[in-house]
Amino acid sequence: MGRAISELLAAEGARVVVNYRASSDAAREVVRGIQAAGGEAVAHAANVQNDVEVRSMVDSAEDRWGRLDVLVNNAGWSKLTPHWKLDDLTDEIWDRTLNTNLRGAFYCCRAAVPLMRKNGGGSIVNNASASAYSAAGSSIVYSASKAAMVNMTKSLARALAPDIRVNAIAPGLVETRFAGWPKEAFEQGREGSPLRRIASVEDVASTVLFLAADANAITAETILIDCGATMLATSRPRRR
């Protein structure tokens, strides 16, 4: 999703810092692709769990381009852990999930806000998950981390108005490498979907672009991108 979001925002004229934790080759490939298409981008390594690294990412954006208009909190982590296997949900999984998905997004907002405000404000888009509502994500703590992100989106929207809008997206299952979902999960997702498909990374990117750049009257909102799966789940007739 980070690749698709970066490419679309760059194609629309944004100068993009492509942040990564470990995937240096992938980040550099995204940057090269954006540059080859005539856009501007730079790769930067920052673990979002680390406040010092996050602040250095924002500083490097300021050094290079002098401003920050959009922050997309896309970094996320999860380990597929069946909800009924309570003992499998280790302290390590618990801490890494919350520290990446929730604390990391907060660190990025906290570091970015002063630079956004220097040039009149901006827009923050948080990547939550439909599991914030369904509570059926890759683990119990993953769903909880994304529900907290939806809540935090509202708190930040109130706290940072009027010059910074804060919104979130809540994708349903999207076919990426995330959390180690098996191939069958995506097939089942398509079969069970009201629209008979699951969202693509391009669907996600276009919603991020809308919230970041066009949705001037929208703040504190979370948009589901799940082909109707969450809202229509209870009214769908059971299949035999």
Ligand X SMILES: NC(=O)c1ccc[n+]([C@@H]2O[C@H](COP(=O)([O-])OP(=O)(O)OC[C@H]3O[C@@H](n4cnc5c(N)ncnc54)[C@H](OP(=O)(O)O)[C@@H]3O)[C@@H](O)[C@H]2O)c1
Catalytically annotated residues: 142
In the bound state with ligand X, the residue whose beta carbon lies nearer, of 67 and 103, is 103
Residue in 100, 123, 139, 222 binding ligand X, rule: CB under 6 A: 100
Give the residue with the Cβ less far from ligand X, 15 or 23.
Answer: 23
Burial zone of 37 (CB within 10 Å; 0-12 exposed, 13-18 middle, 19+ buried): exposed
CA distance 157 to 154: 5
Distance, in Å, from the CA atom of 78 to the CA atom of 137, rounded to the nearest integer, reads: 9
* Residue 36 lies near ligand X (rule: CB under 6 A): no
Beta carbon nearer to ligand X, 28 or 67: 28
Q: Does 127 bind ligand X (CB under 6 A)?
A: yes
Whole-number Å distance between alpha carbons of 129 and 171: 5
Residue 216 CB, nearest approach to ligand X (Å): 25
112 binds ligand X (CB under 6 A): no
Site for ligand X contains 139 (CB under 6 A): no
Task: State how far the Cα of 84 lies from the Cα of 86, in Å rounded to an integer.
Answer: 6
Listing DSSP states for 196-208 in one string gives: SS---HHHHHHHH
CB of 211 to ligand X, least distance (A): 14
Distance CA 72, CA 211 (A): 10
Site size toward ligand X (CB under 6 A) is 23
Query: Of the ranges 6-14, 20-28, 36-44, 208-216, which one interacts with ligand X (CB under 6 A)?
Result: 20-28
Query: Is residue 47 a contact point for ligand X (CB under 6 A)?
Result: yes
Contact 29, 2 (CB under 8 A): no
* Residue 207 in the binding site for ligand X (CB under 6 A): no
The residue number whose beta carbon is nearest to ligand X equals: 76
**CB nearer ligand X, residue 2 or residue 122:** 2
Contact (CB, 8 A) for 46 and 19: yes
Site mask for ligand X (CB under 6 A), range 169-198, x = bound: --x-xx-xxx--------------------
Of the residues 76, 93, 102, 125, which one makes contact with ligand X according to CB under 6 A:
76
Cα 239 to Cα 66: distance, rounded to the nearest angstrom:
56
Please give the helix or strand (H or E) that residue 171 lies within, else none: strand 164-171
Distance in angstroms (rounded) separating the CA atoms of residues 3 and 51 = 23
Binding residues for ligand X, rule: CB under 6 A, are 1-2, 20-23, 47-49, 74-77, 100, 104, 127, 129, 171, 173-174, 176-178
